[in-house]
Amino acid sequence: MRALASIESQTLQPAEIIVVDDGSTDETRALIAEHYPNVLYQYQANAGVSAARNKGVKLAKGDWIAFLDSDDQWLGNKLQCQVEALACAKGYRIVHCDEVWIRGGVRVNKPERYKTRQGRIYEYALSVCAISPSSVVLEKSLFNEVGGFDESLPACEDYDLWLKICASYPVLACSEALLVRYGGHTDQLSTAMWGLDQYRVKALHNMLQSDQFKHALTQSEQEMTVSILREKLAILIQGAGKRDNQLVIDSARAMIDQLPQEE
């Protein structure tokens, strides 16, 4: 309930609050009905985070949307700062913000590669997930324009979305930390890195196969995309070899064969 409490504490209140319950078996429905009667609660059989977020957007009536994952927390002036930033910087369709990281109950410093950036940040979005879902305010029409979250991706769905958006539009950023992100121990992601790379590979491959997004990239950005994809395919092949997963190896090698030849 920390996430909902942080929404209620906002200096600028959202027009509506929507909770999509992705198949929980706890007392979420009853707790929301008791403590947050103004929240629109929607239950769905477990279909994953992408389906849940997409459903929330479909239910939203407003022109602008913001996401908040259940384990994150907005600071009190988050929405107000971002709305004011958008009003001062005409033409932007998305704004994100800096964030505080809590890992295993301890505040940690973000690595430099996760620095909050603005402008055309596609090249930075290639290497890392450059934007946190809980940090953004964006136009609903922009979200729909790029196809929303890819429900075929069980992970890295946010990486995929930001690639599509950053290929098409500049991003506005608030340098102030307006979000607290909670996570486990810092070594958890590295443990699952090989598994995550298969979904990043799919996202990168989709960028190069899509006329809508590939043509939005400069020649240099296309070349960077190919280069990063080659790197991740090599990691995927190495990991699959250790796991005797010939199917993944064959698929990755076939994808490499389809890429432009290196000069």
Written as tens digits, the pLDDT of the chain (263 aa) is: 899 999 999 999 999 999 999 999 888 999 999 999 999 999 999 999 999 999 999 999 999 999 999 999 999 999 999 999 999 999 999 999 999 999 989 999 999 999 999 999 999 999 999 999 999 999 999 999 999 999 999 999 999 999 999 999 999 999 999 999 998 644 344 344 557 889 999 999 999 999 999 999 999 999 999 999 999 999 999 988 999 999 999 999 999 998 887 65
Which residues on neighbouring strands pair with residue 21, listed in sequence order? 43
Predicted pLDDT of residue 196:
85
DSSP 154: S
- Residue 226 in any domain: the answer is yes
Residues 88 and 180 in one domain: yes
Spatial distance between the Cα atoms of 217 and 227, rounded to a whole number of angstroms: 14
Residues 132 and 235 in one domain: no
Predicted pLDDT of residue 194:
58
Positive or negative torsion for Cα 259, 261, 262, 263: negative
Residues 217 and 114 in one domain: no
Predicted pLDDT of residue 262:
63
Structural domain boundaries, residue 92: 2-189
Predicted pLDDT of residue 185:
41
Residues 245 and 124 in one domain: no
pTM of the model: 0.92
Q: Which amino acid is at 137?
A: V
Total tally of structural domains belonging to the chain: 2
Residues 29 and 61 in one domain: yes
Cβ contact 91:171 at 8 Å = no
Residues 81 and 176 in one domain: yes
Residues 172 and 244 in one domain: no
Predicted pLDDT of residue 260:
84
Per DSSP, the residues of 52-88 read: HHHHHHHH--SSEEE---TTEEE-TTHHHHHHHHHHH
Residues 198 and 152 in one domain: no
Cβ contact 213:126 at 8 Å = no
Predicted pLDDT of residue 183:
83
CATH number at 93 reads 3.90.550.10
Structure tokens, 133? 């879902």
Torsion of CA 168, 174, 178, 183, to 10 degrees: 50
Instruction: Report the candidate in 95, 203, 163, 47 with the shortest Cα–Cα distance to residue 56.
Output: 47
